[in-house]
Chains A and B, each alone.
Chain A
Amino acid sequence: MSFLHLAIFLPFLMAMLIPIFYRWTNQLHTGWIVLPIPVILFIYFLTFIPQTMQGVVTETMPWIPSLGINFTVVVDGLSLLFALLITGIGSLVTFYSIFYLGKKKERLNNFYAFLFIFMTAMLGVVLSDNLVVLYLFWEMTSISSFLLIGYWYHRERSRYGARKSLLITVFGGLMLLGGILLLHVITGSFSLREIIGEASVVQASSLFIPAMILILLGAFTKSAQVPFHVWLPDAMEAPTPVSAYLHSATMVKAGLYLVARFTPLFAVSGVWFWTISLVGIVTLFWGSITATKKQDLKAILAYSTISQLGMIMTLLGVGAAALHYDSWSDDIYIGALVAAVFHLFNHATFKGSLFMMVGIVDHETGTRDIKRLGGLMRIMPITATIAFIGTFAMAGLPPFNGFLSKEMFFQSMVDVTTLNLFNADTWGILLPVIAWVGSIFTFVYSMIIFFKTFGGKLKPHLLPKKPHEAPLGLLLPPLILSALVVITGLFPNLIAKPLLEPAVKSIMPSLYGTDYHVHISFWHGFTMALLMTFGVIILGILLYKTANWWRPFIKEKVPRFFQWGKAYDNSMYYMEQGSYRFTLWIMTGWLRTYLNYMLMAFIILMLGTIFATDALNFDISTISRVTMMDYVLALVIVVTLVGVVFSKSRITSIILLGAMGYTISIFFIVARAPDLALTQLVIETISVVLYLLVFYHLPQFSNIEEKPKWLSVKTLISFGVGLVVFLISLSAYDTTFYDSISQYYIDNTYTKAAGKNIVNVILVDFRGFDTLFETVVLAVASIGIFGMVKLRLARREKNENK
């Protein structure tokens, strides 16, 4: 247990203490008490920067060593970048939420407990080396996210959104677990670094593709890639600090983290390259188009998050090509990975600030609907500045950091067309074209966010509240993020060397030790990418100006073809309906139906086994001789059987049943079993008396019975059962493998047990326990009968009611 382990669990420990603090401190907002934790962690993780520039830091704590599950924490460039984002934005969000959530009306203890459990889970995901531990934290993020989305649980939409996100992300989580187990089957290890060390073994395995697809399903569901993106817009029912933290900066990037982590293992495959690139580019395209048609600011931001995540995913896919080049010095595909990591950082900064900005607008005006907003620039100048920086960075305009990463994105997309791997030279042209169109729509929705909210005329009559500038506490966190956007935009190399370069080296571990250096130049000459950016700006402005003309078209026509959300709702509905109907259909409530099921299963299983194992080997030579007497007895039994089955009178049935019992006792005499014959006679007599006694109180049964039909399920099943028993009896009879153990009884009945009736000695001496409990059965039956006859609770009530 090192301080690194403690650092991961520090927010969790705090979450356990929050209820105590919440009760003790009535005056102070709970947020102030918990705020130091993420700040301390942020500073602590900053101290790792010099170390990760050199190599990795590893700490191990045994958890279940016998299963190879140890809590190993590894800090490398990628983990550190994520850990800094989690703790840094975590601090800002905690600070923001102090001013956002009212002290009186909100359940702050719940909020901060959920938030800090999430923080621990997220730190665990990015710092764990052991895949089982990673999975554990992965599910912990799903659960804490579920709790946070459903924070206002009295709202129906919150509960719906929380359930939807839980179902989808837990589905992905389970797929991820499957992938982890497959990797364990291949390599025998749960350690990510050991598995990557054995990459050649994994790549040669036949389980390579299944493991890859399962892990990708986990990543795609978490990172809201098409078609699993449907949960993210509904997760916007969460409080805005949660949206800013989980659903833009951290949790949705867990999938990207996973893809980046597994790149050294899977990137040799063309399936990996194409799946990630195509899913990412489709997500980018679809997210940006859909964002333009939304009215709610948070919905626009949700779809823009989906779109930007798709962009990073595409970059990771293209970056996978870098593994196929030997010399790193002139490799252009490393550039894609740099762009991915850089944009990951940039997106966390500007999207966090944008969500906080929307929270401020919501807080100060009472609405997030862009139809009712407008002209807030004069009233809320600082918020407008934040929004300006955020949206222009998102649109990819200079001098903000989004411009740089978008340029690198275009450059990578253009470079794909020159790639001569995985058929990229023929189909690769798709990527830059779709990316470019998607980017135009990104520009458009960014402009919609800014100008519809802050530009135009103020509509005071539409706003629930009288708008005014927000307090400094709400403005400070987004201002810090905006400052980061500008600083990294102007001086990208400030973070390039300490943060981005180690992160890229962790995605491509073979880069360690080479002289590869990340350098981001602000001005890189007139390239194709710059021309594409000009095109985006020109077409984007045109589209924004004509938005009133084409937005209705997208709003009304497109949804008819693509309604992912509806597909989810319908599948849930049909699954519930289907299982309900199936249960109603199969569980009829009639005992006869269930008997049919059981007997049919018996017939099918038995017949199948008999024929599959060729069990019918009846040997006629061991058969014993049949006498005339046997034929007569058998005939009598058959006659009584027919009589009982077809009789319409109960008295006939009873008498025939008695006749059958007596015939069987004669059978016992013939088979030299005197005790059996005696017992059978007595029992049959008592039974017949009992039948007569009870039947006296019962009606004739023929009136409810349908006429016997020769071809009915009932007939077929009873024929089948008879046949199966006949076949079993035939094939089981001839078991001459071993002699009977009865010789022991015959030899020792007199000498050891002092009796001459062997059956009786077996019953009371050799196997006396059987007899003891048989007696108990009789006692229980008689007590039960006594109880049934005497105990009349329901009848008494009925009489009282009368």
Chain B
Amino acid sequence: MELLMSILIGLMFMAATYLILSKSLLRIILGTAILSHGVNLLILTMGGLKKGKAPLLDTPGLPAYNDPLPQALILTAIVISFGVTAFFLVLAYRAYQELDSESVSKTRGHESDDE
């Protein structure tokens, strides 16, 4: 299972990197979203994917619980990445309004600013 997950996470990072290196702002945001999915899965996998019980105390059945700590960490991470993604989205929207383009090429400083 961990091997499969590792391959999957690797592919997600690959796709995310490819999208982040695009010219279009929206593809970049899609890339960051995939990147955060990949990171969440990575944390979960590294915590161990043993099939125990869900971390609820009165669940009957299987002998052991799954590790609750990575779950708490991922929950925090999901919320934070949602906040950042929402901010990025509105930023891209506003950038498009001001610059009439969604290409990152337009966000480069003017040549004359360098000198």
Question: Residues of A with Cβ closer than 8 Å to B?
Answer: 584, 587, 589-592, 595-596, 599, 620, 623-626, 630-631, 634, 637-638, 641-642, 644-645, 650, 653, 657, 660-661, 664, 667-668, 671-676, 679-680, 683, 686-687, 690-691, 694-695, 697-699, 701, 704-706, 714-715, 717-719, 721-723, 725-726, 729-730, 732-733, 740-742, 745-746, 749-750, 756-759, 762-763, 767, 770-771, 774, 777-778, 780-782, 784-785, 788-789, 794-795
**Mind listing 29 A-B residue pairs with CB under 8 Å?**
A584-B114, A623-B1, A624-B51, A626-B4, A631-B4, A634-B5, A637-B8, A638-B11, A644-B15, A657-B30, A660-B34, A673-B71, A674-B56, A675-B71, A690-B89, A694-B89, A698-B92, A701-B102, A705-B24, A718-B16, A729-B45, A730-B6, A757-B56, A757-B57, A763-B72, A780-B83, A782-B83, A788-B91, A789-B90
Q: Are A721's CB and B17's CB within 8 A?
A: yes
B8 and A675: CB pair below 8 A? Answer: no
Q: Are B98 and A794 in contact (CB under 8 A)?
A: yes
Please report which residues of chain B, range 56-115, place their CB below 8 angstroms from some CB of chain A when the two chains form the complex. Answer: 56-58, 65-69, 71-72, 74-76, 78-80, 82-87, 89-94, 96-98, 101-105, 107-109, 114
Contact A725 B38 (CB under 8 A): yes
How many pairs of A and B residues are in contact by the CB < 8 Å rule? 258
The distance from the CB of A616 to the nearest CB of chain B, in whole angstroms, is 12
* Complex-state Cα separation, A584 to B34, whole angstroms: 33
10 new A-B contacts at CB < 8 Å, known A623-B3, A687-B82: A590-B108, A599-B17, A620-B3, A624-B49, A634-B7, A650-B26, A657-B34, A732-B46, A733-B45, A745-B68
B91 contacts across to A, CB distance below 8 A: 788
Whether B72 pairs with A634 at a CB distance below 8 angstroms is no
Least CB distance from A776 to B in Å reads: 10
Shortest Cβ distance from B89 into A: residue: A694
User: From B8, which residue of chain A is reached at the shortest CB distance?
Assistant: A634
CB contact under 8 A between A714 and B18, given known A624-B49, A683-B82 = yes
Chain B residues closer than 8 Å to A785, beta-carbon distance? 86-87, 90
Q: How far is the CB of A748 from chain B (nearest CB, A)?
A: 11
Name A695's closest neighbour in chain B (CB-CB): B26
Distance in Å: Cβ of B51 to nearest Cβ of chain A: 7
How far does the Cβ of B3 sit from chain A's closest Cβ, in whole Å?
A: 6
The CA of A676 and the CA of B76, in the complex, are separated in Å by 10
Q: Within the assembled complex, what's the spacing in Å between the Cα atoms of A788 and B87?
A: 9
Chain A residue contacts of B48, Cβ below 8 A: 624, 740
Inter-subunit contact B18/A718 (CB<8 Å): yes
Residues of A within 8 A of B54 (CB): 672-674
Q: Is the CB of A657 within 8 A of B83?
A: no
Q: Which residues of chain A have C-beta atoms less than 8 A from B102's C-beta?
A: 698-699, 701, 704
Q: Are A644 and B20 in contact (CB under 8 A)?
A: no
Residues of B within 8 A of A664 (CB): 37, 40-41
Chain B residues whose C-beta falls within 8 Å of the C-beta of A795 in the assembled complex: 98
Q: Which residues of B contact A592 (CB under 8 A)?
A: 21, 23, 104
Nearest CB on B from A546, distance (A)? 55
Residue of B nearest to A732 (CB): B46
- Chain A residue with Cβ nearest B69: A742
- Give min CB distance, B29 to chain A, whole Å: 8
User: Is A645's CB under 8 angstroms from B15's CB?
Assistant: yes
| A723 and chain B: residue at smallest CB distance | B10
Q: Which of B12, B18, B47, B80 contacts A637 (CB 8 A)?
A: B12
Within the complex, the shortest CB–CB distance from A524 to chain B, in Å, comes to 69
A758 pairs with B44, CB closer than 8 A: no
Enumerate the 10 nearest inter-chain pairs by beta-carbon distance, A residue then B residue, closest first.
A722-B14, A726-B10, A781-B83, A718-B17, A756-B57, A758-B55, A718-B18, A701-B24, A758-B68, A672-B54
Residue among B11, B55, B56 with most chain A CB within 10 A: B55
Q: Which residue of the partner chain B has the closest CB to A635?
A: B8
- CB-based contact A774/B11 at 8 Å: no
B-side interface mostly: helix
**Cβ contacts under 8 Å, A759 to chain B:** 55, 68, 71-72, 75
Q: How far is the CA of A98 from the CA of B101 in the complex (A)?
A: 71
CB distance from A603 to the nearest CB of B (A): 10
- Provided the pairs A732-B46, A742-B67, A785-B86 are in contact, do residues A641 and B11 lie with their beta carbons within 8 angstroms? yes
Which chain B residues lie closer than 8 Å to A705 at the CB level? 22-24, 27
Tell me the smallest distance from the CB of B74 to a CB of chain A, in Å. Answer: 6
Instruction: List the A side residues contacting B27 at CB < 8 Å.
Output: 653, 701, 705
Q: How far is the CA of A491 from the CA of B112 in the complex (A)?
A: 72
User: A722 touching B10 by the CB < 8 A rule?
Assistant: yes
* Complex partner residue of A726 from B6, B20, B49, B52, CB under 8 angstroms: B6
Residues of B within 8 A of A757 (CB): 55-57
Q: Which residue of A lies closest to B49 (CB)?
A: A624
Set of chain A residues within 8 Å of B34, measured between Cβ atoms: 641, 644, 657, 660
Beyond A733-B2, A774-B76, is A725–B68 a contact (Cβ under 8 Å)? no
Give Cα A626–Cα B30 distance, bound, in whole angstroms. Answer: 29
- Among A641, A683, A729, contact of B42 (Cβ-Cβ < 8 Å): A729
- Provide the bound-state CA to CA distance between A673 and B67, in Å: 9
Q: Are the C-beta atoms of A777 and B80 separated by less than 8 Å?
A: yes
Residues of chain B contacted by A631 (CB below 8 angstroms): 4
Closest chain B residue, CB of each to CB of A641? B15
The answer to whether B24 touches A722, judged by C-beta atoms less than 8 angstroms apart, is: no
Query: CA A590 – CA B18 in complex, angstroms?
Result: 16
Residues of the A chain whose Cβ atoms lie less than 8 Å from the Cβ of B47: 740
Closest-CB distance, A800 to chain B (whole angstroms)? 16
User: With A671-B49, A746-B65, A750-B57 in contact, is A630–B4 under 8 Å at CB?
Assistant: yes
B53 touches A672 (CB 8 A): yes
| A774/B79 in contact, CB under 8 A | yes
Q: Smallest CB–CB gap between A798 and chain B, Å?
A: 9
B78 touches A641 (CB 8 A): no
Cα separation A704 to B105 with both chains bound (whole Å): 10
Hey, which chain A residues are within 8 Å of B11, CB to CB? 638, 641, 722
Question: Given that A674-B54, A674-B56, A730-B6 are known contacts, is A595 also in contact with B80, CB under 8 Å in the complex?
Answer: no
B106 nearest in chain A by CB position: A704
Are the CB atoms of A691 and B17 closer together than 8 Å? no
Closest chain-B Cβ to A741's Cβ sits at a distance in Å of 7
Give the residues in chain B near A726, CB-CB below 8 Å. 6-7, 9-10, 13
In contact, A679 and B40 (Cβ under 8 angstroms): no
A782 to B9, CA, bound (A): 30
Asked if A730 and B114 make an inter-chain contact with CB atoms under 8 angstroms apart, the answer reads no
Residues of B within 8 A of A596 (CB): 21
Across the interface, name the chain B residue whose C-beta is closest to A667: B41
B71 touches A686 (CB 8 A): no
Q: Are A591 and B93 within 8 A (Cβ)?
A: no
- Minimum Cβ distance to chain A for residue B70 (Å): 9
Q: In the complex the two chains form, what is the Cα distance from A687 to B45 in whole Å?
A: 24
Contact residues in B for A725 (Cβ distance below 8 Å) = 9-10, 13, 38, 42
Which residues of A are found within 8 Å of B52, using beta-carbon distances? 672
Q: How far is the CB of A770 from chain B (nearest CB, A)?
A: 5
Asked if B69 and A778 make an inter-chain contact with CB atoms under 8 angstroms apart, the answer reads no
Known: A645-B18, A771-B76. A722 touches B55 (CB 8 A): no
| A740 close to B67 (CB less than 8 A) | yes
